[in-house]
Amino acid sequence: MCDLQAIAKQKTNAELQRQLADLSRAIDAMCREHAAKGLFHSGATLKRVVAICKEATEKQRDAAINEYRWAVNQALLASQSWVNALAAEASASIDSLHEESEKHIENICQKLGKPELIARLLSDLQLAEIAAKNDISLALRVGFAERSRGLIRSIVGFVPKLLSKLQKGGVA
């Protein structure tokens, strides 16, 4: 299970690195576009920066869910505590993305001369991050429950067939 967890973490971290690079590029491109249109010093710039950060958070959430759910589905033995540990580890990538998003928001607020908006914009972003972490946890718990239910159903379906063969005189 540790190998699966390590692979999921590596793949999620690779996606995190892509998100971090894309975040910087997207914000720089948006700033250039807004400056060219004369919108740079408007509230639209701040709203767009937060929206770009939220989009990156959602993409990271989706990647974490996909990779860690894969680990849950591939494990020979899985427990609820292991799934909870996976959820915590998967959520850590959201925290790493938050640090970079926070820097971008603070930087833009400073450039626009609106440092008083930093706390409000960060709280808006944090709501999206909390939702992303909850989505990750729920998706992994659902994946574990579906996997467990599927194993039980397959065992329940197999036992009558085995008993039937034993009653008929042997197993082929």
pLDDT for 42 equals 87
Q: Please provide the DSSP assignment of 54-96 as one string.
A: HHHHHHHHHHHHHHHHHHHHH-SS--HHHHHHHHHHHHHHHHH
Q: What is the pLDDT along the chain (172 residues), one digit of tens a residue?
A: 579 999 999 999 999 999 999 999 999 999 999 999 998 998 999 999 999 999 999 999 999 999 999 999 888 788 888 999 999 999 999 999 999 999 999 999 999 999 999 999 999 999 999 999 999 999 999 988 887 655 555 555 665 665 666 677 655 5
pTM: 0.82
Structure tokens at 83: 């799934």
Residue 73's CB: how many other CB atoms inside 10 A?
Answer: 14
Rounded Cα distance, 168 and 162, in Å? 10
Number of C-alpha atoms within 13 angstroms, CB side, residue 79? 4
pLDDT for 154 equals 58
pLDDT for 79 equals 85
* Short-list 18, 9, 5, 26, CA closest to 104: 26
Report angle CA 124, 67, 145 to the nearest 5 degrees: 90
- DSSP state letter for 42: S
* Short-list 39, 87, 37, 6, CA closest to 79: 87
pLDDT for 2 equals 78
